[in-house]
């Protein structure tokens, strides 16, 4: 595990992740920090805890909106779908030589 120091809404946090996940974690922190700053800037919600809850709810709504519709892939998150495609591509690479 690798330690990653980040800043969210003016507060420092020390997080741990696998080295291969570091950039994704930094991108996620940046996304949440921007969302929280936007909520704070609207002036409608005060208090970091309330701002964090609103950012979490907004992010969850977006995540749920990108899930696959009903059908053979119903309920599958976009990331899971991408991993399945990557796995299939890996299998194809094994059985089909590069030309």
Write down the domain spans for the chain: 1-65, 67-99
Average pLDDT, the chain: 85
* Sequence-ordered alpha helix ranges (H) in 1-99: 22-42, 48-65, 78-95
Q: Is the pLDDT assigned to residue 8 strictly greater than 70?
A: yes
Question: Global pTM?
Answer: 0.66
Sign for the CA dihedral angle at 53, 54, 59, 62 comes to: positive
Between CA 31 and CA 6 the distance in angstroms is 12
Q: Which of 14-28, 53-67, 71-85 has the highest mean pLDDT?
A: 14-28
- Give residue-wise pLDDT tens across range 27-69: 999 999 999 999 999 988 888 999 999 999 999 888 777 665 6
**Cβ atoms within 10 Å of 90's Cβ, excluding its own:** 9
The highest-level CATH class for domain 1-65 is alpha beta
């Amino acid at each position: 595990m690798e330690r990653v120091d980040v800043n969210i809404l003016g507060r420092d946090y020390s997080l741990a992740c696998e080295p291969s996940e570091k950039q994704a974690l930094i991108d996620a922190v940046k996304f949440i920090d921007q969302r929280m700053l936007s909520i704070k800037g609207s002036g409608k919600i005060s208090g970091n805890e309330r701002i964090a809850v609103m950012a979490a709810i907004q992010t969850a709504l977006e995540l749920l909106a990108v899930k696959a519709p009903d059908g053979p892939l119903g309920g599958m998150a976009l990331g899971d779908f991408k991993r399945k495609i990557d796995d299939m591509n890996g299998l194809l690479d094994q059985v089909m030589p590069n030309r």
